[in-house]
């Protein structure tokens, strides 16, 4: 058994300040719908929207488009509220009138969907960002006017509050802490594993029960040299197993890079019966002094359908990466590769290798 991290994160929905929670959900293989998932809105703005039951947000008289950034992405913005959201549509390729009509329909649907969730009280709503505690308490109180709701406020850890911790402020407000907020200059960088831990602890306080669990069939289970799985170090890199425990569990590997170019550093191969979706995940720890400039996972020979790469800005703690591929029924064997690029001689570590059937990584290696 392991924690069912995707199922856990499905119980949480963002109310702002930006898309950190939405990116964390993507990092565990989820793509839920949500009005605020990839939107920006400050706490007073969320209070105003809740008080107005989201009207007239997204109506033709309220909505306008703004071209943002060097790629000229259309952002949909409200004239009355501090709400703005990505569209993932771009001025050089998409007609503004078509985008605007589509956003009106999308926002109408997401508003009604959110109002139903608020009335049912079956999700833990999350506001991430710096704000006055009094404002957050007003936000939690406003949620209560819609139904039996609870708010998780996520802020940056300090001397009194450790990263990945959660405390109860009241029956309708929980306070969680992470080491840093996300940055989005290039690839997203945020402490995904801390967020998952915060959600697990908040779930316990909210529901008075442990985070959900699920059986996991790790096809790579077993030590090197046992069973049908073959473990191979890939020259010129050097990989060796260390006889010491790792936080995520499984075999702890030390990898020493042998070339500047992207190349496999470790490889596991095993026979499979039948095709379908497979997910390969592994935990990686990059020492602060390591100068690797790419680390990722691959199921070579098969079409990658989704992936979450190693965050090179997260040096020191363990983090999980994964890749999903559709494997043809006649494949016969499957290989799992850890690939890396960087200065020859640099060292990093991996553990908790897991190959499972399915479309999302289960949560193997998470310890709360």
Q: How many CB atoms lie within 10 A of CB 186?
A: 8
Residue 62 buriedness (CB in 10 A; 0-12 / 13-18 / 19+): middle
Contact predicate 320/193, CB 8 Å: yes
CATH no. for 230-357: 2.60.120.260
Q: Which residues contact 287 (CB under 8 A, 6 or more apart)?
A: 315, 316, 347, 348, 349
Instruction: Enter the tokens of residue 326.
Output: 């559709």
With residue 7 as reference, give the H or E element that holds it. Answer: helix 5-9
CA distance 121 to 148: 5
CA distance 140 to 153: 9
Ranges of each domain in the chain: 2-207, 230-357
B/e letters for 231-257, b = 16+ CB within 10 Å, e = fewer, are bebbeebbbeeeeeebebbbbbbebbb
- pLDDT score, position 228: 75
Estimate to the nearest angstrom the gap between the alpha carbon of 125 and the chain centroid: 16
Contact predicate 120/31, CB 8 Å: no
- pLDDT score, position 10: 97
- pLDDT score, position 233: 82
- pLDDT score, position 224: 54
- pLDDT score, position 227: 56
What's 178's DSSP letter? E
CA distance 94 to 113: 27
Q: How many CB atoms lie within 10 A of CB 138?
A: 18
- pLDDT score, position 222: 61
With residue 25 as reference, give the H or E element that holds it. Answer: helix 20-27
Residue 210 buriedness (CB in 10 A; 0-12 / 13-18 / 19+): exposed
Estimate to the nearest angstrom the gap between the alpha carbon of 12 and the chain centroid: 12
- pLDDT score, position 331: 67
Query: Which residues of the chain fall below pLDDT 50?
Result: 225-226
The residue behind tokens 């494949």 is 331
C-alpha distances (whole Å) from 108 to each of 120, 141, 149, 177 are: 19, 24, 22, 33
CA distance 127 to 38: 13
Q: What is the pTM for the complete model shown?
A: 0.95
**What 3-state class would DSSP assign to 144?**
helix
52: left (phi over 0), alpha (psi -120 to 50) or beta: alpha
């Amino acid at each position: 058994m392991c924690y069912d991290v995707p199922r856990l994160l499905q119980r949480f929905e963002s109310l702002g300040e930006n898309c950190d929670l939405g990116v964390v959900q993507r990092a565990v293989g989820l793509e839920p719908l949500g009005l605020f998932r990839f939107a920006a809105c400050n706490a007073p703005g969320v209070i105003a929207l809740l008080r107005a039951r989201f009207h007239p947000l997204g109506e033709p008289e309220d909505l306008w488009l703004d071209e943002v950034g060097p790629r000229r992405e259309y952002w949909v913005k409200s004239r009355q509220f501090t709400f703005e959201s990505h569209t993932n549509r771009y001025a050089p390729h998409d007609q503004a009138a078509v985008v605007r009509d589509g956003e009106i329909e999308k926002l109408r649907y997401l508003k009604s969907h959110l109002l139903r969730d608020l009335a049912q009280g079956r999700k833990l709503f999350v506001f991430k960002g710096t704000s006055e505690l009094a404002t957050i308490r007003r936000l939690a109180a406003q949620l209560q006017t819609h139904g039996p709701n609870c708010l998780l406020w996520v802020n940056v850890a300090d001397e009194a509050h450790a990263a990945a911790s959660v405390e109860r402020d009241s029956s309708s407000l929980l306070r969680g802490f992470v080491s840093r907020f996300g940055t989005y200059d290039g690839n997203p960088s945020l402490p995904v594993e801390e967020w998952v831990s915060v959600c697990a602890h908040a779930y316990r306080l909210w529901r008075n029960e442990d985070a959900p669990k699920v059986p996991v069939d790790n096809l790579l289970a077993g030590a090197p040299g046992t069973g049908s799985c073959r473990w191979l170090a890939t020259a010129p890199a050097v990989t060796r197993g260390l006889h010491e425990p790792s936080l995520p569990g499984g075999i702890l590997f030390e990898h020493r890079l042998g070339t500047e170019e992207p190349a496999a550093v470790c490889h596991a191969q095993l026979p499979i019966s039948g095709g379908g979706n497979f997910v390969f995940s592994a935990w990686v720890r990059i020492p602060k002094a390591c100068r690797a400039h790419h680390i990722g996972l691959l199921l070579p020979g098969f079409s990658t359908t989704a992936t979450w790469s190693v965050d090179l800005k997260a040096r020191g703690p363990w983090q999980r990466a994964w890749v999903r591929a559709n494997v043809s029924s006649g494949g016969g064997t499957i290989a799992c590769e850890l690939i890396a690029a960087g200065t020859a001689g640099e060292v990093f570590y991996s553990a908790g290798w897991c190959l499972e059937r399915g479309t999302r990584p289960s949560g193997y290696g998470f310890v709360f």
